[in-house]
């Protein structure tokens, strides 16, 4: 549901940083 | 050694992110929710609520096994066990609790309601839209907060970020 977070640059910046963390990448790889 | 029973939900990922980020060795046991594996007698013996995640630390406090079945409790436990991602300063720690709770008790349940309503056989469109609006409003607040601080609870990564990201991740 990307429309729920559209137009939120600060949230997007933070989420991008979180998604790039190796531990989070390992955790969310199912 | 830690055993984690979870699936690819926000709550499941909150627990798994906690263990990965805190560098705690664990074995991941995927739980197939579609097959009802979280409702079997064996699973209910671990968690009578019949939901994921469940974490069992065979080497818990005092060397005794410890079972936890709330994702935020697992998050806090992992941070305390590892000594990571939890500020020592009381004010920063309080800010961490506050942000963590928003991720765990505001964002994630609202997403859960949206997801549940949208997947209903006959979705009630006004209800779906109302909870979508509520979720977007929560994210808008977070967008503003993250414009003032780099991370969810200030200038450093804390377990609050992991809680919030678990709620954001599936959106």
Last residue of a domain, one of B82, B98, B122: B82
Q: Convert the pLDDT of each residue in A1-30 to its tens digit.
A: 888 999 999 999 999 999 999 999 999 988
B120 and B73 within one domain: no
B59 and B23 within one domain: yes
Question: Structural domain of residue B139, as residue ranges?
Answer: 90-169
Span B87-110, average pLDDT: 96
Last residue of a domain, one of B24, B55, B82: B82
What ipTM was assigned to the predicted interfaces of this complex?
A: 0.96
For residue B164, the chain A residue with the least C-alpha distance is A15
Q: Convert the pLDDT of each residue in B127-167 to its tens digit.
A: 989 999 999 999 999 999 999 999 999 999 999 999 999 99
Domain of B117, CATH number, reads 1.20.1050.10
Cβ contact B17:A28 at 8 Å: yes
Distance in angstroms (rounded) separating the CA atoms of residues B67 and B131? 33
A11·B132 Cβ contact <8 A: no
Domain of B43, CATH number, reads 3.40.30.10
For residue A15, the chain B residue with the least C-alpha distance is B165
B13·A27 Cβ contact <8 A: yes
The dihedrals phi and psi of B113, each to the nearest 5 degrees, come to -65, -45
Span B27-50, average pLDDT: 96
CA distance B16 to chain A (A): 6
Among B46, B160, B44, B39, which residue's Cα sits nearest to residue B108? Answer: B160
Residues in chain A, total: 30
A3, A15, A30 member nearest B168 (Cβ): A15
pLDDT given at position A1: 85
Q: What angle do CA B169, B134, B155 make, to 5 degrees?
A: 50
B108 and B57 within one domain: no
Containing B68, the helix (H) or strand (E) segment is: strand B66-68
pLDDT given at position B119: 85
B103 and B74 within one domain: no
Q: Which of helix, strand or coil describes residue B75?
A: helix
A4·B146 Cβ contact <8 A: no
Last residue of a domain, one of B37, B53, B82: B82
CA distance B27 to chain A (A): 12
B99 and B78 within one domain: no
Span B76-81, average pLDDT: 98
pTM for this prediction: 0.94
A11·B142 Cβ contact <8 A: yes
Domain count within chain B:
2
pLDDT given at position B66: 98
B63 and B122 within one domain: no
């Amino acid at each position: 549901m990307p429309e729920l977070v559209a137009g939120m640059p600060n949230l997007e910046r933070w989420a991008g940083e979180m998604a790039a963390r190796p531990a989070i990448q390992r955790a969310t790889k199912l | 050694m830690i055993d984690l029973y979870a699936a690819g939900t926000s709550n499941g990922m909150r627990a798994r992110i906690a263990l990965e980020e805190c560098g705690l060795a664990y074995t991941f046991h995927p739980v197939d929710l579609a097959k009802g594996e979280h409702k079997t007698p064996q699973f209910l013996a671990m968690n009578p609520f019949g939901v994921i995640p469940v974490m069992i630390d065979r080497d818990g406090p005092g060397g005794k096994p410890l079972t936890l079945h709330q994702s935020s409790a697992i998050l806090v436990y992992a941070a305390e066990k590892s000594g990571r991602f939890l500020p020592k300063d009381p004010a920063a720690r309080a800010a961490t609790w506050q942000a963590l709770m928003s991720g765990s008790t505001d964002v994630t349940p609202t997403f859960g309601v949206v997801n549940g309503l949208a997947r209903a056989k006959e979705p009630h469109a006004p209800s779906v839209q109302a909870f979508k609006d509520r979720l977007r409003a929560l994210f808008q607040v977070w967008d503003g907060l993250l414009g003032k601080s780099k991370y969810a609870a200030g200038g450093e990564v804390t377990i609050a970020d992991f809680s919030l990201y678990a709620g954001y991740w599936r959106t």
